[in-house]
Amino acid sequence: MTRRTPEADIQRAIVHTLRIVLPRDAIIHHSANEVGSGGKAARQRQAILTGMGVFPGFADLVVLTGGQVLFLEVKSPSGRLSPAQKAFRDMVKAQGFGWALVRSVEDALGALADHGITTRAQALNPRRRACA
């Protein structure tokens, strides 16, 4: 049996949707930078990963498309950013990259629009092109 969490379910739905709406050459990447909680073995594994370049607070998803980079931090409706996630957000934004906290597919689509990332649906919508 697989243990499922609300954040993981939300993230799966977001990734599924982004794969449909973004251009085919877009890259959607999850950086698996967490080992889990508890125990000496988990702490040792986390130390190994940190030495290999895992960055504390790194966003759940990175979207690369059309020369743009957008970091998405996925949270459940009641989830909060950790201090490391806040620090990562601030560093990324200070460098001019896009970052967004998303709690749903709708939030993720809104983040794309807010950061000027065109989806396939927007590109194909003649009504939108006529208004531009």
Task: Characterize 70-108 residue by residue with b for buried, 16 or more Cβ atoms within 10 angstroms of its Cβ, and e for exposed.
Answer: bbbbbbeeeeeeeeebeebbeebeeeeebbbbbbebebb
Tell me the mean pLDDT in the region 99-111. 97
| pLDDT value at 3 more than 70 | no
Give 28's contacts (C-beta < 8 A, 6+ positions apart): 15, 18, 19, 22, 61, 62, 63
Predicted pLDDT of residue 1: 39
| pLDDT value at 49 more than 50 | yes
pLDDT grade for 5, boundaries at 50, 70 and 90: confident
**For the whole model, what pTM was predicted?**
0.83
